[in-house]
A = this chain, B = another copy of it.
Amino acid sequence: MKKVKVAVLGATGAVGEELLGLLVERNFPATEIRALASAKSAGKKLQIKGREFIIEEAKPESFAGIDIAFFCAGGSVSKAMAQEAVKRGAVVIDNTSAFRMDPEVPLVVPEVNPEDIKLHKGIIANPNCSTIIMLVALAPLERHFGLQRILVSTYQAVSGAGVKGMEELDNEVINPNYIPQVLPVASLPKHYPIAYNLIPQIDVFDAEGYTKEEWKMVKETQKMLHRPELGVTATTIRVPVKRCHSESIYVELNKDFTLDEIKEAFSNAPGLVVLDDPENQVYPMPLDLEKKDDVYVGRIRRDLANKRGLNLWVVGDQIRKGAALNAVQIGERLLLD
């Protein structure tokens, strides 16, 4: 495997820091890892997995000589900087929503559509966390049975709102007088507590009453599966959980199936672990699965009304497979070519 120079833009965020840790942990074949952030973090030192990173201010020139640049500093930074990095010869793996729906940009989960990586023109987009976690579980069903319809209700961790979202939950539990200021959407006027609560809003609403998060699950799924007509509906809910997203998923398949066939397809699928032994109270739970690489599926049941319907409970770490790990895995695939 060739050795490359790597940059991580947004190194001080929840995903950026996780990503640096994964590069070290997985021995990513890098001769150099540049940790970039905004001017105000420049000079700051990060100790990650026994290695020290000194933050540099992100400028267009920061990408000179870089082969792979991981972007996780937010959509506006990605829009401003991605072409600068590409111009200097880097492949950008972008963790924001900036380019996900751009028809020129492949949107990739390596377990789902690895072949799309080759179509890139400098930028590869990392999907939204809740979409990644859902599709790792649904890809084997699409492959073996064909998906006819997806209905999903999510239970999403506060880590999806970054370090500040995680701190907000902690603050609320410690201090009953704490006034929420981050969730559901920091830039909107109203903020609500998440401790002992559920917030049925993730990101802003459109005119039809769906949130942007819900649309991401629809549009990104259709794009990655190359099925723009696929019926997908999502209801996305924030829950007082730290870093794993959970999803109650109903799918209709194109073929008849037995549960054994479904479980076999899941067992053979990369990145997916079946945790489904109800009799012994074995099923995926978010608190158990923090910092795990895989996505977990359990509560695998035939629907009670539709013989081609299937119900699942899927859990995955939002920061890891939902963001940083998927980006690193795209980078690893790039190096295989």
- Interface residues in chain A, defined as those with a beta carbon under 8 Å from any beta carbon in chain B: 149, 151, 153, 155, 173, 184, 188-190, 192-193, 196-201, 205, 208-210, 218, 231-233, 235, 237, 239-242, 246, 248, 250, 276, 278-281, 283-287, 298-306, 309, 311, 313
Contact = CB atoms under 8 A, between A and B. Distances in A.
A309 B209 CA distance: 14
Contacts of A283: 200-201
A241 B196 contact: yes
Given A205-B279, A299-B209, A305 B232 contact: yes
13 contacts: A155-B155, A155-B237, A192-B285, A196-B240, A197-B241, A198-B285, A200-B298, A200-B299, A200-B313, A231-B306, A232-B305, A233-B303, A237-B313
Contacts of A197: 241, 285-287
B309 A233 contact: yes
Given A197-B241, A198-B246, A233-B303, A205 B278 contact: yes
Given A208-B301, A209-B278, A313 B193 contact: no
B304 A231 contact: yes
A274 B235 CA distance: 18
B300 A209 contact: yes
Contacts of A198: 155, 239, 241, 246, 285-286
Contacts of A242: 196
Contact of A231 (B205, B301, B305): B305
A298 B201 CA distance: 11
Nearest to A148: B305
Contacts of A192: 281, 285, 287
Contacts of A305: 149, 231-233
Nearest to A247: B153
A281 B188 contact: yes
Nearest to A210: B301
Contacts of A149: 305
A304 B190 contact: no
Nearest to A239: B239
Given A281-B189, A285-B198, A209 B155 contact: no
Given A200-B285, A285-B200, A287-B197, A302 B239 contact: no
